[in-house]
Amino acid sequence: MNEDRAMSQATATAGRRSGSPALERCVEEEVLEWYRMSPRDRWLESLRLWDTFLLLGGQLDPEPDSQSPFYDEQSRRRSPTDGRSSVRAVRRSGV
């Protein structure tokens, strides 16, 4: 019985690796590679991609939506051109 279970698991794993021929015709190779990754590997790759996005100057602030009922044009601030926050350190002397 254990041999049957091991055989069915091996068959399922082999099927996942090779993929469906119909899926392979419809999806780009890069997407297929993502599908073939384990959940853990996808998680680690996502972390790496987020790090790259942030290093390249990406921001996590949402884009303003002028169609939203909560949109307030007056509260919108322009981000600094250098990408840094406009908060600066205050010097304290004699403390």
| Mean predicted lDDT score pLDDT of the chain | 74
Domain borders along the chain are 12-57
Containing 27, the helix (H) or strand (E) segment is none
Chain segment 50-62, per-residue pLDDT in tens: 999 999 998 888 7
- Confidence (pTM): 0.45
Q: How confident is the model at residue 95 (pLDDT cuts 50, 70, 90)?
A: low
The b-or-e profile of 49-87 (16+ CB within 10 A means b, else e) is eeeeeeeeeeeeeeeeeeeeeeeeeeeeeeeeeeeeeee
- pLDDT category at 7 given cuts 50, 70, 90 is very low
Model pLDDT, residue 37: 93
